[in-house]
Structures are given as structure tokens and as C-alpha cells.
Structure 1
Amino acid sequence: MTTHTFPDRARVDALDKVRGATQYAADVAVDRMTHAMTVPSEIVKGRLVSVDVQAARAIPGVLRVLTYQDFQDVAEAVLGAVGPYSFRTYHAMLSDRLIYRGEPIALVVAETLEIAIEAAALVTATYAPDAFSPNIDAEGTEVFVPEGSISFGDFDQAFDSAAVTIEAEYNHAAQHQNPMELISTTADFRGGHLYIHEGSQSSGAIKFGVALSLGLDPERVHVMSPTVGGGFGQKNSMQQQTVLVARAAMLIGRPVKLVLPRGQIFHMATYRPVSRHRIRLGLDAAGKIVAASYDGQQQNSRAETFRGAFSETAARIYAIANYRSSEQLIRTDTQSPGFMRAPFEHPASFAFESAIDELAHAAGLDPVALRLANQAETDPVTGLPFTSRHLVECLTEGARRFGWDDRSPAIGSMQDADGLLIGYGVGVGCYKAATSPVIARLRVSADGRSRISLSGHEMGQGMRNVIVAALVARLDIDPQQLEVIIGEPDGAPQHVTAGSWGTASVVPAVEAVADEWRRKLDDLRDGRSVAGNVHQVLFRLKRPYIDAEVQVLAPGQPVAVMDRLRQSLPSAVGPQYPEFVGLSFSAHFVEVRVEPSTRRIRVSRVVSVIDCGTVMSPRTAESQVYGGVIWGIAAALREISEQDPRYGGVLNNDLADYVVPVNADIGAIDVSFVNKPDPLLNAAGVKGLGEVAMVGVAAAIANAVHHATGKRIRSLPIRIEDVL
């Protein structure tokens, strides 16, 4: 099925990574480096009465113990005040106010990390605590109803007249992403310039956010984030610690490095919040879904309006003429939640695709056949055409590769030779095909070297591979001497790289800058025939190098949006464009095996077929889907952030107790791609992949568990007691 337009290149950074040569932010060595450690609050909510730092200061090697009183002149670079460089409207350690457990109350700076840790443990505080609401079921929460819910048609009439109806509530637990790279900041203030090394999905937000917070000229703030050891939404805005470390470096006059312990990350970083989903579906006698309603609730912090946009994709998968949705944010006393891989689409697909499965069983229909019979030809929300849509092919090819037709539909009717119950399940998903404006700069030199600088961040997803693939397809440069500069605002203005818009944004820019560079070379040749590759042509024409620069907009965007990009303000758009709607699609088929007495669940195999437009880098694309499927398995069977309602905070705030899958948990994963270019979204035909790879996996697992055991699980993660 898959016919790759682009060759299966090895990862361009693979050799450096396996040799340990790749430098992450915390690896950067700076002369006269000092080390910092934060002191977390012991209460959830209230005020600091006093902070006793005397014992910590007495430790030899401690240089400074900073409290909120040392940050009185720091402004908050937030959405409502200075600029949207942080997704939070609250910044820790700027006052005596406390709003979540674990927020920092002091920052110790010392000659060594060991000294900083020892001294931090000696800092004590007295508090004036307030009553708090740790979760959405606690007393004292607030309900906020945001704008933007999607509704069309007449749900009540269609649901009341439907031949078959189902109604159910699905629950998704809080989860924390755990990238291998810990959150860190290294700040060095010298010669009136501030240099920051930080693993980030939005280095531009750091540049401008820190400048605004500290009253600096942005041109004097230099941020380097060439390689990120995993982000998954955790690192897509300016973090809580960045300004604190930068300010500490300015006060002390030496570089300061802070690497947050994983236990503190669970309390300081954003996370996937608790959510609840009430779904109602109605089916007519002909097997058409005629009515759907989606009522969603999502946990939030007190001050935020971080929306749970569950219906924005759920409403677009099936041709349902009557759809109604509502949304509530339940404000609690926690740190702000945020984006985590497939932030709304993953929990929404668990709920909606589980409900579709329930509807199929209630009607006595095959779950795949029901999905195929209700595919949307145009966007149900706007009526606009899709840029491309190959979900039918994902389903039909996935069913063929999986062997869906061999399924015995009766509950509990399939067993293997060892007596394990076998269950088959299916789930589909979609994710916005978003794009962002990009500025790309290319220099190709006569000495064989090339350098391309552009907007984007490498978080391990393979962006450098995509850039190289697109560039060498256009120009016969030497890829071994190509330098790719991303994640550095000094090289090119940086957008936040998130929402699966990285590849779909950089590839058109790479192709455009290569074409512009070729035009300049043709002008230089002036009709002369010169042999050799482009480096040799430059050499023979006695030109040391040629530079080219382009600006590429997303479809329908005005040129004025480039001003936002240059200030690293959010500038991406999608899925809705002026003339069409762009989405990527996935179909996942899952086989589970359940031990009949202990009810231990194992995912024995998964078949996933993805529609993401042109596949630019087959190797890294396949790796993205493997990762998304494994994370879907984790979400369905393992991951949960366990909260202590008495004291707030997360109890299992380490990798020993926050359970994720290991090799033994993962069976066979078969990945394939439709690999048909999207003709409208961009010239390269590329759509996003990283997030859609996860969407639908958890529902497919839950549906397979139902097929094997008869137990309909509506809360994640699925535990043994749920199927006993």
C-alpha cells in the first residue's frame, strides 16, 4: 500500500546520539558555572509568613538563597499582561502568594549541585494556609463555561426519534508527561547580554518573555535550544523557572544552572488534567448516526481558561447532521494544566470511539462497518471541503492487514491455545492539520558547506531528517556538510513547535528557499553551462557563496502575520482555513489477550494505518507512530497521576511509581501509511503526524477488552479490578 516518494534515510543525528555527542541544554559547559535548586512549598494554598534561610546560607559554598523579595522588579510575561509567552497567568516566587503545592518558595545557588541540594533541604518556612479544593469532586471548586462549543442541527428531535440510542459517561485520569530530558535552564549574563540554554518547544517565547519580564532589550537575549530530549507539550511555553534562573545569574554575576528533579516537575510543569465526557448517540433504522451530543468537563486551575476543546475534532469524523456539545472547566487548586500529546483529541477519541462501539453492539452491527457507513464527505461543522481525507482507506486497509474479518463477534468467544481470552477492537482518530508561517535562510558555499536556518524545534521527532530530505531533493548539495539551525531565534524567528504543525510548516519553507536559491544561481550563470554540483558551480564561477531567504505563510494568512512570528507570538492556523478544513486521520486495530482468572490484560498486536499526506521521512514517521501507539497503550492500561486529596500534589511523582509500559508490555505493532499528498494544504502535500498517531488507540484497547470479557470499561486506566 505504501509507496514512499522519499527514500528511507537514516536519522541525520543518529550517530551523534548513540555516541553521546549530542548536547542537550543541561550538558552545555560554561566557565564559572554555579548550580541552583528550588525549595518547594509544603502547602497548597495561602501565603508565606516567613522563609528562614539562615541555615542554608551557613553551608560553605552557598552563594545566595533567593526568595520572592529578590524578584520584586520582575514583571509577569503572561497572556493578559505582557504577552502570551507563557500559557499561565500566574508566575511563582513573585509574591508571598501560594496557589499550588510544590511551587518554589526559594532558589538556592551554590558552587556545586550537591551543596545546592543540601542547602535547599535546610530552608524552612512558616505559612498562613487557606482551605483548598484539590480535585474536581472537592468542595469549593468553581465552574467556568467557556465560549466556543460546537452545535448544529436539532439534536433533541433526532435523538428522540432514533431507532437505537446509547448514553454513557467516560472518565480520563490526570497524567504527566515524562520526557527523558528533565526541565532545565542555564543562564549566563555577560557583557550586557543574557544567554539561555534550555530544552524548549518555543525558544522564541523564552527570548521575548524573559526580555519583557526582566526589562531587557530582546536583541540582548540569546536562546539556544538546538535539541530537546522530548517535549510532548510540556515545554511549549516559557517555564516557571526560566526567569528565576536568569534573574539569579544577573544578581550573582555568574552563570547559573538549574535542573529540576523529576519529583518537582510533577508539581511545577503543566500536565493532562482530569476530564469527564458524557456522550449520547442515536442511530436510525438504516444504520446512520443521526444524533450526537458531547458534554465535557475538564479540571483547571483557579486562574486559567485552558479549554478542553473535545468537540473540535470529535464532531468532524462522522457525517452526523444533528450535533450538540457543551463544555465546563472545573477550577481547582492545582498548578495550571496544559497541552500533552493529543491533548483533547486523545481523551475525546477514547470517549467518542468507545460510544461508537457501544452503539454498534446495541444495534447488532459490525463496528468497522458502522464507521464506514457514516463517513463525512465534507466538514460537518462548517460545510467546507476537506483538504484530503483517506480515513476509509485507513479503515479498510487496517482491517485487511489485521484480519478483522476472521473475528468472531460474540463476546468472549475467542480464545488461544493457552486459554487466554482474545478480544478485537478498533478506534479511529483525527487531528488538526495545522501550519505556521516560517522564515527560512539558506547559504550554500563553494567550499562544500551549506547552512539552513529556519523556524522549528527538534524534539526527537525527526525534524532535521525532514529538512535534509526536502533540501537534498531540490539541490545537489553535500548533505554531510549541511548545518541545520533550528530552535535558535538568532538564526531565524521561532514559532512554538507543537500541534503536529512542524513538518507541514518547514517543508514548504525548505522547498521555497531552495527554489529561490536556485533562481539566484541561474541568474549568476546567466545561461552559461557549468558542470558539477552546486558547490562546484559556485567555485567555477568564483562566487564564495549565495544566500537566499523566504517567508512562507499558511494558507489564507495575511502577510501581516509575519510580524507576530518575528515576535514569537502564536501564529499557527488550522484545522479551519478560509476555503477548506485540514485533518490527519488514523485507524487502529488492537488485539488483547486476557488471562481468564487473574484478568491480566496484554496488548498482543496493533495494526495502525495513518493518513498524514506525503511521508517525507519514512523512518522517523514510522517511529512517531510506534511512540504514539505505545503511549496509547500506556494511557489505556498504565498511566495515572495519583493525587493525595488531603495535602494536594501527586503521590507517584517519580518513574518508579508513575507506571509506563516496558518492553515486555508491547507486542507486535504494524504501521503503514496511505502516503497520498494533500493537494491543498501545501505544495509538498504534507500533513501532521506526531499527535494523530496516538488518537484512537486507547478506545481500540477498551473496545477489545469488552469483546474479550464483556466488561465495558469507561474509565482509564483499565485495572484488573475493572474486569474481574
Structure 2
Amino acid sequence: MSVGPFSDRARVDALAKVRGEARFAADLTLPRLLYAMTVPSAIAKGTMTALPVEAALRVPGVVRVLTPDDFPAPPPFTEDGTPPPPRTLETTIAYRGQPLALVIAETLEAAIEGAETIRPTFASEPFACVMESAGAQRQPAEDVAFGDVPTALSFAASTVEAIYDSPTQHHNPLELIATVAVWEDGQLLIHESTQASSLVKGAVAGALRIDPARVHVRGATIGGSFGQKAVQRQTALVARAAILSGRPVKLVQPRGQIFHTATYRTRTRHRIQIGADAAGKIVAVQHHVEQEQSPGGYFAVSEYHRDVIRMYGVQNYLGTGADIRLDRQDPGYMRGTHPQPACFAFESALDELAYKSGRDPVELRLANDTRVDPQNGQPLSSRFLNECLREGARRFGWSRRSPEPGSITAPDGSQIGWGMACGIYQSATTPAIATLRIDARGRTRFAISGHEMGQGMHTAIAAVLLEGLDIDPDGLEVAIGDTRVAPQHMTAGSWGTNSVVPAAMQAAERMRSAFAELLGGRQVSGNLHRKLAAIRRPFLQIEVSTLGPGQDQSALEALRQGGFAVAESVYPGFSTFSYSAHFVEVRIEPGTRRIRVPRVVSIADCGRVVSPRTAESQVYGGVIWGLSHALREATEIDPRYGGYLNVDLADYVVPVNADIGEIEIGLVDQPDPLANAVGVKGLGQVSMVGISAAVANAVFHATGKRVRELPIRVEHLL
């Protein structure tokens, strides 16, 4: 089942944000509020031997200093696969910047001053913090393989083999990670900038050894996340401080500390070999990935092989990999996640193959179309990548391209290059439980899983409800991100809209049926609120639940228990992914060799577009971040001390307005017939995937120099 196109609507939260009415966790002020600041470790590995706190306690306004003695011991490790709760404060040091103590005070200034007076002593141990470190431990990962790669490569008419590097990067959303904890009447209420309220609830309960039923987490408005704001060590620290002090406690972690404690995009190195036959059909791919990893990190190497190889009809694939275990904090998900660096490598190698075989890069990709999932032989329920390619090429004017590298020069001497690349990302979903309530006084309340990180989830839900129900738009409240109103899934992986929009549509259908039954054939004029008022019914409420393809009631139960119940792209009987095609023009100044990007055309296949305005906004953001990934961003690591050097927005370089040229967006807007009742697929991640390869390919077209390391800087082109 699918539905027709949705009309364009303004963002429902736009006015609140521009007026400053939207409230973030850091904005919250409460009576008797205490302020907190952590004391970070100054070493990368070892043991804390002493933690003197007397000087901190003498600072006027300091109320208490929490140390490892104030927290329960971590539970023993289990072999059943149950993830351990997050660490709190401990004396064993695993990475530089690890929190060692928490100072709480009457003012933020006192908390900072108190934290700065604490000088722990350590017994240091040798550590490894970069992939080249002598003590780095290499741990091979499980292979992902199908077909016969050696045989296929031996018969290939043309092959390319190269190594591509993508750097360590940090998320840097504008909103810092903030936690406010309140302990009252035996109940713990946590306000946090999180995209995973239920996971935070369970993690804090586990870390502090308290009943999860007594923990409630609210993360309503978030100022950007991109994978960073899931479960944080600081949450349990602040919650414990609130319990021990009997007062509300707030911690807004400084950006420099966030660099050292929150997850980040891991550095990766990709060795790719691609073979094609005389007609340009890819016959085999061999892809080896190595990534930074913490000693106990979970960020799987195998996922670099999950999506990208499904972009084309490749019948023979060998994906290998290894974790390079380092003494740093855990890496984690960051927009585009595994496909982002994997696509940089793969789509760059494909461009090299196109040049080596004398083929147009667009035509080479069109020639490798597929309607089945090459890894398992299942049909793809929808794949409009070729439509993205053709429309992007038309809008960009690709047919006017001179294929010879270095052949286009601007009047001022700048070298002009045109490059393109494609992107792919899973189309996953989670179960949802929703409650819809309409009352006679003009109010509608829809409560469901989800977190608003600026991606437009409120607007997408409102679009479905307002098109399906005759209600007052000004009276619509969408309640998400709060464990008290509905079980909360983690909003990530481009499954947010896929999961909540079908539930909103089902709720609207159920509500219309409930009204028809309630009225029993009576003709009552007015919208639904007036109908209720006319029959003297104060409200009408229904509850619905939805599942992803192939899921059963156990997934709903996992959601209710705060678990992770995601169904990812490969469903019973079909597979489905989102796609993008990006076309980029670069101009490289003759003297400075500075790279400019005057225009980009990006076309995406995300199934049915529910909220055109916020969907286009997602693609704009993805494109800009892709340009940043290609030309600006890299986290610098000091191998002497194990810490990060550019830990603020002055030194961690991101694009500014002057760096961004014209960006033209297109959305295919064709529903996926099997993914869900609305036909929607994910968009937030795929909009970024492939951009960095398109930039690198354009740089080659402009200069004839192939840069296989990101970010591409002036020194690469001197």
C-alpha cells in the first residue's frame, strides 16, 4: 500500500525556534539547582593513585565532590551478550579525558573553579593512540564474501587497485551535551539532549543499580546530534549527584571535554580492487578496511561491507577488515556512518575504473544497474538510483563535460573540474506504539517514539495527521522523546520517519473509524473537535502499534523494555535501500590552489516524501557536511599524550557560508511498495553519502591529480 504525494507544509517548530521559545536541556532552570563540572584524566592509560579534593571543597559555593567511592561497583561481565551499563567514575584510566570526579556547586563558576583545583596523581602505563602506534593491536574481523572473487578478477578486462584514507572526525553539533537530573519522591527525572531516551533510562538504572521504573528521561528538543547523543557517561554521574544532594543538578559538558568522552567517526583505511569486463560491467570487488577502535569497542568493521556493495549488480565480493585497538574512547555512529567513508573509497575507485576503461562515469554506473540484492538474491523493492543519475546529469549539464582531466580553465586561470558519485544507505525501521487523543476543546495530542533533532520529525508527523484528520492545526501537540508518554526507540540510522509516519497514518485511520462508530450514522457538522463538543463527548483516544516487515510481537515487547528492535533493510522476501547521486563542480585557484565548490546538484531516492520542506533541508545539510568531510574536517591527535588538539570550533575547521555555493536538490518521490504503508524510506544519512567522492573525482578532473586522502587540502595540489 502507498499514498499519493504530500503537500508542502511549513515546519511546525519554526516559529518557536526563531523566537527562542524552544527549550533545550541546557536552558532548564529549577529552584535550588546545582551546577556540575567533571575533572578529566590527564593521562591516556594507567591508574589514578590519589584524588585530593580538599582544595575544591574550600572553594566558596562548592557543595560536594563525587569520587569513585560514591558509585556502585560495575556489575560483573556476562557471557549472554547483554551490554554492560555505562561506566561511572573509576580509578582505572582507559583514555585521556576520562571523567575522574564530579564537582557540584551553587554556581557554574564555582563548579569550574573547584574542578580546576583537583590534581589527581597517576601511575601511567604505555599506550597506543593512533593506528601507527607501536603498541596498537590489530584484530582481524569476520569476512563478508559471496561469489568467486579471484577467478572473476583473473578474467577482468580492466582493474584498478588503490588505498583511500578517511580521517578521525567529531560531530560538533551546536548544542553541547547537557544533562539535568531531578530526584524527587523516589523518582529520577532526567532532562537530556539525547536521541535515545529509553536507552538512557536503562543505562542509568543499570549503572546506579536502581529500578528502571523509577527513572524517566525526557529529551524533547535537541540542537543537532548526528549519532553523538546516545548514552553518555555523564548522565549517570549527574543523576547520582542529584540523588546524593537531594537537589536538581545540571551539567553542560564543555566542547573540549566532549571531544574526549563522546563517540566520534573513526579513521579508516580502505584498500579496494575492482575488476570490470569489456562492456564495463563490474565482475568483482575486493575491499579491505581497517579502522581505529577502542579496546572494548563495538563499532563493527563488517558494516563497511553491508550497504555499498549492494549499490550495483556485483556478483563476486570479498570484504575483509580489522580493528586497530587503541587507548581512546569508543568510536561510534556519525552521519552517514559506515557508508560515508566506504563510499568515498568505492566511488573514487569506480571513477578511476571509468577513466582507465575510457568510459563516462555516469554511463559506467548506469551499466551496472541491478534489481536484486547481490548479496542474497532477493528482489529490491524499489531502486531509483538510475533515475537519480539521469536527472542529476540533466540538471548539472553533464553532457557538456570535457572528459580530459585539466581541460577546462576559467578566465581567471582557475582549473574547473566536474565530478560525480553515488550514495546508498539502509532503509531500516523500528516498531512503534502511539496514542492519539482528540478533545472537544480544540486540542489533539499524538504521543509516540522519536526525537526531534532538527530533522523535521514533528513536521512529518503533523503532515500525516493533518492530511488524514479534520483537526485544528494550532491545537496539535506531538509528544516525542519522553519515556513517560510512550516507549522510546533510539532515533538514528535514518529510521525515524520510516517508523513514526506509518504509525501516524494508522492512528489517523483508526481515529476516523472510531469517530464513525461513535457517531453511529448521525450527521454532525464541523471538524472533529466540534463533533465531540456537539455530542458532549470530552475526548476520544485510540492506541496503535506498528511493526517493521518480518517483525512480530517480540519486537514490541523489546521496545516496551527499552531495547533495540531495529529491522535493517534486508527483510523477508525483499531488500530496500535509499540512494543518492551527486554532481559537483570545483574550481581550483591557480596561485593559492584553494578549492572552491560553486555548485552541487544532488538527487535522492527516499521513497515517498512526506515533508518536502524538511526533506530538502536534510539534503542541504547532508551536502554541506559532505563538502566539509571532503575539504575541511579532521580531528588532530597528539600521539605523545593521547589527546585531541583541535577541540573547539576555532580549530576544528568546518565550512562557513562563504564556502558554500549553489546547491540544487531533487527528490524522486516514488513510494517503496513494500517497506511500509506510506512507502517512505530513509533520507538523513544517504544525503551525505557519496559527496566526498564526488568532490575528489572533480578535483581529479580539474587537475589530473588523484587525491586518495581526506580532507583534500592545498598541500595536496601544490
Please indicate the TM-score interval, normalised by the length of the shorter structure.
Answer: over 0.9
Distance verdict in 2 for CA 1:585–1:441, change over 3 Å: same
Q: How does 1:281-680 map to 2 (within 5 A)?
A: 281-308=274-301, 309-680=303-674
Between 458-467 and 157-166, the greater mean CA deviation after superposition: 157-166
- Note the C-alpha offset of 1:504: 0.7
Inter-partner Cα distance in structure 2 for 1:344 and 1:466: 26
**For each residue in 1:222-274, what CA deviation from the matched residue of structure 2 results, as whole angstroms up to 9, or x when unmatched?**
211111111100012x2110001100111111111001000000000000011
Structure 1: gaps (5+ residues):
none
- Note the C-alpha offset of 1:16: 0.7
Q: Tell me which residue corresponds to 2:41.
A: 41
2:139 is aligned, of 144, 166, 178, to 144
- Note the C-alpha offset of 1:79: 9.2
Distance verdict in 2 for CA 1:660–1:4, change over 3 Å: farther
User: Residue type matched to 1:664 in 2?
Assistant: A
Q: Tell me which residue corresponds to 2:213.
A: 219
- Is this contact kept in 1: 2:190–2:217, CA < 8 A? yes
Q: Tell me which residue corresponds to 1:19.
A: 19
- Note the C-alpha offset of 1:302: 0.7
User: Residue type matched to 1:145 in 2?
Assistant: P
Q: Tell me which residue corresponds to 1:61.
A: 61
- Is this contact kept in 2: 1:398–1:607, CA < 8 A? yes
- Is this contact kept in 2: 1:82–1:212, CA < 8 A? no
Q: Tell me which residue corresponds to 1:129.
A: 124
- Other structure's SS at 1:333 match: coil
2:276 aligned with 1:276:
no
- Note the C-alpha offset of 1:52: 1.2
- Is this contact kept in 1: 2:219–2:451, CA < 8 A? yes
User: Residue type matched to 2:131 in 1?
Assistant: I
- Other structure's SS at 1:52 match: coil
Q: Tell me which residue corresponds to 1:117.
A: 112
2:712 aligned with 1:718:
yes
Distance verdict in 2 for CA 1:535–1:80, change over 3 Å: farther
TM-score normalised to structure 1 length: 0.97
- Note the C-alpha offset of 1:139: 1.1
User: Residue type matched to 1:432 in 2?
Assistant: Q
The number of residues matched between the two structures is 715
- Other structure's SS at 1:310 match: helix
Inter-partner Cα distance in structure 1 for 2:316 and 2:74: 51
- Note the C-alpha offset of 1:311: 1.1
**For each residue in 1:686-721, what CA deviation from the matched residue of structure 2 results, as whole angstroms up to 9, or x when unmatched?**
000000000000000000000000110101000111
- Note the C-alpha offset of 1:213: 2.1
Report sequence identity in percent.
Answer: 54
2:243 aligned with 1:250:
yes
Between 694-703 and 568-577, the greater mean CA deviation after superposition: 568-577
Q: Tell me which residue corresponds to 1:28.
A: 28
1:91 is aligned, of 87, 95, 106, to 87
- Is this contact kept in 1: 2:222–2:454, CA < 8 A? yes
- Note the C-alpha offset of 1:82: 9.3
- Note the C-alpha offset of 1:46: 0.2
**For each residue in 1:634-653, what CA deviation from the matched residue of structure 2 results, as whole angstroms up to 9, or x when unmatched?**
00000000000000111001
- Is this contact kept in 1: 2:72–2:209, CA < 8 A? no
2:165 is aligned, of 164, 171, 187, to 171
Inter-partner Cα distance in structure 1 for 2:214 and 2:67: 26
Between 616-625 and 516-525, the greater mean CA deviation after superposition: 516-525
- Is this contact kept in 1: 2:62–2:105, CA < 8 A? yes
Inter-partner Cα distance in structure 1 for 2:30 and 2:573: 51
Inter-partner Cα distance in structure 2 for 1:339 and 1:498: 9
1:181 is aligned, of 170, 175, 191, to 175
User: Residue type matched to 1:635 in 2?
Assistant: H
**For each residue in 1:563-587, what CA deviation from the matched residue of structure 2 results, as whole angstroms up to 9, or x when unmatched?**
1000121101111001111100000
Inter-partner Cα distance in structure 2 for 1:133 and 1:563: 42
- Is this contact kept in 2: 1:500–1:689, CA < 8 A? yes
- Is this contact kept in 2: 1:85–1:569, CA < 8 A? no
- Other structure's SS at 2:665 match: strand
TM-score normalised to structure 2 length: 0.98
- Note the C-alpha offset of 1:219: 2.1
User: Residue type matched to 2:266 in 1?
Assistant: P
- Is this contact kept in 1: 2:34–2:247, CA < 8 A? yes
- Is this contact kept in 1: 2:71–2:208, CA < 8 A? no
- Is this contact kept in 1: 2:570–2:576, CA < 8 A? yes
Inter-partner Cα distance in structure 2 for 1:4 and 1:264: 47
- Is this contact kept in 2: 1:85–1:208, CA < 8 A? no
